[in-house]
């Protein structure tokens, strides 16, 4: 128990000590990850399910914890959708993390580095508002490097969707991000 408590305190302390001349607040934490969202269909007909991919690019020398963390003191990466009226969130998919060893942990940790794609599946219900709109998402993560962790942050992400009448023809877009569903 003492060992676990020491690990938690050590990570928290290291996260509070800035590197010489470095900015370490929430503003810095928000700048470590940039994100873009993409929708799988254009337009999205009412009554049809569609996918959203949020591509998060993580600055080199940093990582963010995977969604499924391996230590209880770690803060998982999460994407949250507050679906407006006429939309229903069906599922959220997170990739497995890459196992990496860090000097502050005896065990390897599951993290995301480089670029990671988080996927959500929505249903445009039969009463979804027609036309162009935005679905609001929130990306939560904690960025760390080999010596410190920045404060956890929540970053808004918008998904631009165009809704059409039920039965309208939709074309698949961004096939590189959306494997064919069976």
Q: In what order do the strands lie in the sheet with 109-112?
A: 98-100, 109-112, 63-65, 143-144
Q: Are strands 48-58 and 115-124 parallel, antiparallel or unpaired?
A: antiparallel
How are strands ordered across the β-sheet holding 78-81?
44-45, 153-164, 131-141, 78-81
Give 3-state DSSP helix, strand, coil % of the chain, rounded to 5: 10, 45, 45
H helix runs in 17-76, sequence order? 26-32
* Alpha-carbon gap, residue 44 to 125, rounded angstroms: 10
Mean pLDDT of 65-73: 92
- Domains of the chain, with CATH numbers? 2-172 (2.60.40.1250)
Q: What percent of the chain has pLDDT over 90?
A: 70
CA-CA distance, 88 to 178, in Å (whole number)?
Answer: 19
Among the residue ranges 69-73, 79-83, 96-100, 166-170, the one predicted with the least confidence is 69-73
| Average pLDDT value for residue range 35-44 | 97
Q: What is the CA radius of gyration of the chain?
A: 19
For the segment 82-111, the average pLDDT, to the nearest whole number, is 92
Q: Which two tokens stand for residue 145?
A: 């490097």
Residue 85 has pLDDT above 90, yes or no: yes
Place of tokens 């996260």: 15
Sign of CA dihedral 122, 128, 130, 136: negative
Bridge partners (DSSP) listed for residue 63 = 144
Distance CA 130, CA 48 (A): 13
pLDDT for the residue numbered 24: 56
> Does the pLDDT at position 20 exceed 50?
no
């Amino acid at each position: 128990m003492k060992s676990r408590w020491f690990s938690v305190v050590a990570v928290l302390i290291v996260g509070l000590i800035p590197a010489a001349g470095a900015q370490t607040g929430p503003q810095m934490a928000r700048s470590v990850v940039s994100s873009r969202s993409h929708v799988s269909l254009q337009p999205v007909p009412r009554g049809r399910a569609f996918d959203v991919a949020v591509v998060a690019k993580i600055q080199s020398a940093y990582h963010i914890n995977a969604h499924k963390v391996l230590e209880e003191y770690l803060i998982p990466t999460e994407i949250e959708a507050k679906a407006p009226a006429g939309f229903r969130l069906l599922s959220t998919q997170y990739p497995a993390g890459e196992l990496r060893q860090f000097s502050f942990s005896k065990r390897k940790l599951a993290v995301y580095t480089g670029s990671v794609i988080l996927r959500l599946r929505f249903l445009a219900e039969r009463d979804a508002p027609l036309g162009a709109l935005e679905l609001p998402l929130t990306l939560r993560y904690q960025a760390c490097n080999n010596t410190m962790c920045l404060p956890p942050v929540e970053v808004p992400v918008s998904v631009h969707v165009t809704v059409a009448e039920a039965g309208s023809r939709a074309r698949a877009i961004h096939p590189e991000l959306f494997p064919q569903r069976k």
